Amino acid sequence: MTTITSADQQRIARATLTYLAEPADPMVCGLLQVLSPAELVASIRSGSIPTRVTGVPSGLPAASATLRHCRNQLHRVPADGDLAGSQQQGVRLICPGDPDWPVQLEDLGAARPYALWVGGTADLRSCCQSAVAIVGSRAATAYGAHVATQIAVSLSGQGWTIVSGAAYGIDAAAHQAALVACGATVAVLACGVDHTYPQGHADLLASIAAHGAVISEYPPGQLPQRRRFLARNRLIAALTAGTVVVEAGLRSGALNTARHARELGRPVMAVPGPVTSSASGGCHQLIRDGQATCITCAADVIADVSPATGRHCS
């Protein structure tokens, strides 16, 4: 008979939470400040919070409502054995404290991921020790794709990992450029890592997994939802030394990633575009409002992020 250790129980509990609660749920995150993952899962199953717990965020009624909502999701959770191993289809689970857990995610505080599901064999901590986020519009112009490619190729050639969201447009240009440069790249998804989204990026995601990592807070089988794209943006910002917005309209989701980076105290950089291009309106607004540094090349990026990493441009 296989003995399940306390550490195994906590891993299983963290994996279980990825099925039961949306990332950064304020109540779940608050409860995890006073309960271990295993204790929280036990409370979800029983529907009651230990009497020793006091000062629950938003009060006990709200906490009880969250527990009920999570309990209604229990049917989605696989057997413990599958959760503990979870090597199916090349997917593995990493948790806070694991050797390959990126320590910079701790900067998210209570909103750090419960755990991460990872596709690919790369050591995620090593990949993200020197990493830059490159994000922007899905409806990228030829100009935007060209600039994203040039910056990503140059950064990759100097040992920087490129992190983005694997979407069409700027994200894809950045990932593809890193791969062409034989550099590492990490894709952060808003769905399970076993789900190809967008469908047209099946080959790209496979290449990213082979030369870096495809990661998600969402367990295998989960489909993308609009709110999940916004939630994953905080991971793109947290995993990296700085965020570059290459091309973004005034309502682009890339601006949400930039906001998370600012809140984390990470450099935000924006590429200027033609003043007549609405596709660069968000970049121009960031620069005009003093929320981003105007950059035009990889050397500018390295100059901005090197103080945070201790690296210097040769």
pLDDT tens, position by position, 90-135: 799 999 999 999 999 999 999 999 999 999 989 999 999 999 999 9
The pLDDT tens digits for 269-284 are 999 999 999 999 999 9
Could you tell me which of 246, 240, 257 has the C-alpha nearest to residue 305? 240
Half-sphere exposure in the Cβ direction for 244 (13 Å, CA)? 34
pLDDT band per the 50, 70, 90 thresholds, residue 49: confident
The residues spanned by each domain of the chain are 6-80, 104-309
Checking if the pLDDT of 79 tops 50, the result is yes
Q: Within the chain, where are the H helices?
A: 6-20, 26-31, 37-46, 60-71, 80-85, 124-127, 142-157, 170-180, 202-211, 226-238, 254-263, 281-288, 298-309
Sign of the four-CA dihedral 224, 227, 233, 239: negative
The pLDDT tens digits for 138-196 are 999 999 999 999 999 999 999 999 999 999 999 999 999 999 999 999 999 999 999 99
Average pLDDT over residues 250-274: 96
Which position has the token pair 């709110």?
A: 227
The CATH number, out of the four listed (3.40.50.720, 1.10.620.20, 1.20.58.410, 3.40.50.450), of the domain defined by the range 104-309: 3.40.50.450
Coil, helix or strand for 203? helix
pLDDT band per the 50, 70, 90 thresholds, residue 57: low
Structure tokens at 269: 């950089």
Checking if the pLDDT of 86 tops 60, the result is no
The larger pLDDT score, comparing residue 192 to residue 7, is at 192
Gap between the Cα atoms of 285 and 277, Å rounded: 13
Could you tell me which of 120, 122, 127, 117 has the C-alpha nearest to residue 94? 117
What is the rounded average pLDDT for all residues in the chain? 91
Burial category of 265 from C-beta neighbours within 10 Å (exposed 0-12, middle 13-18, buried 19 and up): exposed
Average pLDDT over residues 7-24: 93
Intra-chain end-to-end CA distance of the chain, in Å: 56
Predicted local distance difference test score (pLDDT) of residue 179: 98
Average pLDDT over residues 191-212: 94
Predicted local distance difference test score (pLDDT) of residue 96: 95
pLDDT band per the 50, 70, 90 thresholds, residue 12: very high
Coil, helix or strand for 70? helix
